[in-house]
Amino acid sequence: MVNTAAIVLLIGSLFLLLILRVPIAFSLGLSTLATAIYLEIPPMVVTQQMVKGVHSFSLMAIPFFILAGEIMGEGGISKRLIAFSNVIVGRLRGGLAMVNILASMFFGGISGSSVADTSSIGSIMIPMMEKQGYDKDYAINVTVTSSTQGVIIPPSHNVIIYSLAAGGLSVGRLFLGGFLPGALLGISLMVLSYIIAVKRNYPKGEKVSFKEGLKITWESLLGLFTALIIIGGVISGIFTATESAAIATVYAFIITFFVYKEIPLSRMKLILRNSLKTLAMVMAVIATSSAFGWMMAYLKVPTLVTSGLISISDNKYVILLIVNVILLFLGMIMDMAPLILITTPILLPVVTSVGMDPIQFGIVMMLNLGIGLITPPVGSTLFVGCSIGGMPIEKVAKSLMPFYIVMFIYLLLLTFVPQLTLFIPNLLMGS
């Protein structure tokens, strides 16, 4: 029997707490606890579900991903990736915008974080673009939209969270599934930025000499090898995701402090502190999201949603459109990690019932929620970009409209063309 009152209490209290600006981890935990008390479930059960949520070997990869990203971000890799991108596309009309997008693509393969990407690349590129004659809001637009590549292009710790929420999907297949979609997203944004650059007559960049280009490429590839260690180790089966992340962290440490040598070893203390703060927030969200997800399963919310959506229409395309709209809306009001943990058990049965592969749905979900990161009112990446650029979020959001349109069209392609996601995993790891 469906307990409607408990479902309303669970979801209603969550949204009420979010409206009151209570941190997401506390909102999830308190709404779950309140519902448990209403149902006369011992609070200890909620605690057990929280512990169970973080008691996973796969999650051990996340601290290493965060630490490796912090080390490379602090150690000068951002500057080198920008220089490397400039060698490739800087000479084109509006080339600095394309450099921004390409650098975000490369940096996303190291940090796996949209916010980290915007912070590292944006702090360099936004002032640089403004100085070269680009409109400030346009510079912010390019920076925040291109940073969403970081949640798709491997290695992304959000993909590992999805793998866990989906019942243990292959991390290697998910990593491979993100390659082509992430690259095509970057190309789509480059095409749009070139059109805007021609229309507004933005400047071309200066050509880089062959000798200088070789030097820049070599220094950049040393940093990019961090991502190759993680991806190659997981896909080949030599390492687990956790082992690959740990080895990559050691490599990043060596490259940053003994090859690049831009920061002193004493800076490691600050890097560890920042990594620990980020990790504490991520793990708290995962723990409370797990308890919240368990409560939804207890109340049979996933079954109700599946039945409800299928009752609306038996048309595959209609159902997938509705799922996209749901994810886009939720991405506008909640953070990414808890949404992955909460919505995956609910929506995965829906999409698989109409024939969508779980790997494809994972990448579609990443893009959906990535768009949410740059959309008001929550949009954490958009807030970071506006803070760096010193512009009000309302003005930047309005000028983002062409980028929103391109990303939404691309989202539909990703949803309805499975091979964009599945071609590389099937080619390298079998169907």
Query: What are 160-177's pLDDT values in tens digits?
Result: 889 988 988 888 899 899
More confident residue, 108 or 275: 275
Structural tokens at position 196: 């805007």
- Residues with Cβ within 8 Å of residue 43, at least 6 apart in sequence: 33, 36, 37
Least confident of 4-8, 299-303, 306-310: 306-310
pLDDT score at 109: 65
Residue 207's pLDDT band (boundaries 50, 70, 90)? confident
Query: What are 404-422's pLDDT values in tens digits?
Result: 999 999 999 999 999 999 9
Most distant pair of Cα atoms in the chain: their distance: 73
- Measured in degrees and rounded to the nearest 5, phi and psi for residue 204 equal -85, 155
Query: What are 14-36's pLDDT values in tens digits?
Result: 889 988 888 888 999 999 999 99
Region of residue 325 (phi > 0: left; psi between -120 and 50: alpha; otherwise: beta): alpha
Entry pTM: 0.85
The neighbouring-strand residues paired with 93 are 204
pLDDT score at 1: 61
Q: Which domain holds residue 235?
A: 4-429
Rg (C-alpha) for the chain, rounded Å, is: 22
Straight-line distance from the first to the last Cα atom of the chain, in angstroms, rounded to the nearest whole number: 40
- Residues with Cβ within 8 Å of residue 187, at least 6 apart in sequence: none
- CA 402 centroid distance within chain: 21
pLDDT score at 186: 92
Number of domains observed in the structure of the chain:
1
Residue 222's pLDDT band (boundaries 50, 70, 90)? confident
Check whether 97 has a pLDDT greater than 80: yes
